[in-house]
Amino acid sequence: MSAKRKAAPKKAAGKKPAASKPKAAAADAKTIAKEVAVIVKKAEGWKGKKLAELRAIINKADSALTEEVKWKMPSKPEGVIVWTHNGIVCHVDILKNAVRINFHKGKQLKDPKKLFNARLDSSAVRAIDFGEEDSIDKAALTALVAGAVHLNPAKTSK
């Protein structure tokens, strides 16, 4: 027996309905937000609070930033929170005694407030370790994040 199939309506080649892209982006953002919430929750106590504070400052520093979760591996199955704009800008690690924000092009950044206190011998990366009692200079950190965004060149379409 052969079943009759109803032909699906033809779609224009390569075209998607206009509403599908924003819905997909919203779904991705919700998924990422859930993943980030897991990372923040796993960083219990003062580390979780410090991570949440850093996240808020970074997200407000530049509207062009995209928050992502990358680098899932057996030793860190939840992954790492990464901020990107035309490439990686920074990411946050939870260490034994600190919460560290890593700037991938940190060596190129001006740091007039001398926030960088880790990875100073790296050829490119600079980092800031925050201990339990350390306060965050919001204005200086915001300036570093904004500067890091500008180090990633705008992508041009060919």
How far is it, in rounded angstroms, from Cα 94 to Cα 92?
7
Of residues 42 and 26, the one with the higher pLDDT is: 42
What average pLDDT score do residues 21-26 get? 54
The whole-number pLDDT of residue 40 equals 85
The whole-number pLDDT of residue 16 equals 44
Report residue 134 as tokens: 């350390």
pLDDT confidence bin for 31, thresholds 50/70/90: confident
pTM for this prediction: 0.78
The whole-number pLDDT of residue 102 equals 97
The whole-number pLDDT of residue 27 equals 61
The whole-number pLDDT of residue 75 equals 83
The whole-number pLDDT of residue 5 equals 47
pLDDT at 78 > cutoff 60: yes
86-132 per-position pLDDT tens digit: 999 999 999 999 999 999 999 999 999 999 999 999 999 999 999 99
Contact between 57 and 99 under an 8 Å Cβ cutoff? The reply is: no
Three state DSSP letters for the chain: CCCCCCCCCCCCCCCCCCCHHHHHHHHHHHHHHHHHHHHHHHCCHHHHHHHHHHHHHHHHHCCCCEEEEECCECCECCCEEEEECCCEEEEEEECCCCEEEEECCHHHCCCCCCCCCECCCCCCCEEEEECCCCCCCHHHHHHHHHHHHHHCCCCCCC
pLDDT confidence bin for 158, thresholds 50/70/90: low
Q: How many residues does the chain have?
A: 158
What average pLDDT score do residues 47-62 get? 94
The whole-number pLDDT of residue 22 equals 52
Q: Which domains does the chain have, with CATH numbers?
A: 22-151 (3.90.1150.200)
